[in-house]
Amino acid sequence: MSRMTVVSDAPGVAGIPRRILQTEGVVLLAAALAAYFAGLDEPWWLVPLLLFVPDVFMAGYAASSRVGAWTYNLAHSYPVPAMLGALALAADEPLWQGVALVWFAHIGMDRALGYGLKYGTGFQDTHLGRIGRA
């Protein structure tokens, strides 16, 4: 079992690679919302209702920075919503397809705003660089 790498003063990605990653976030946000509104017949109000649900996983920080980073990263990386979406497609469940798309939209929004995956050293330490005030 691997342990989370503890990084002190993690610089994160900078310059053009960071802008590319943030642009990818914008693309993911737009594509997920386009797929939701063009491909599903689910109500529009589910989008604002569900858009910030993945942030509930920040509650792990109440236990510790390490647990918080693990739970946050679980909710802010692609595998879980991809599995949910694939299962929803296979089961022909449009509501759950919509949930997966809104989840992807949230991840894209966060990446576009510079909120990256977290290191176990603290909420501010992300793969896109340190967030917040110094």
Domain ranges of the chain: 15-128
User: Given the DSSP bridges, would you call strands 122-126 and 129-130 parallel, antiparallel or unpaired?
Assistant: antiparallel
> What percent of the chain is predicted at pLDDT more than 70?
90
Cβ neighbours for 87, distance < 8 A, ≥ 6 positions apart = 93, 96
Which of 71, 102, 68 is CA-nearest to residue 84? 102
pLDDT, tens digit, for every residue of 76-93? 999 999 999 999 999 999
Q: Kindly list the distances between the CA atom of residue 114 and the CA atoms of 18, 38, 43, 104, 121, in Å, as whole numbers in the listed order.
A: 8, 27, 29, 15, 18
Residue 55 pLDDT more than 50?
Answer: yes
- The predicted model scores a pTM of 0.88
At 130, the amino acid letter reads R
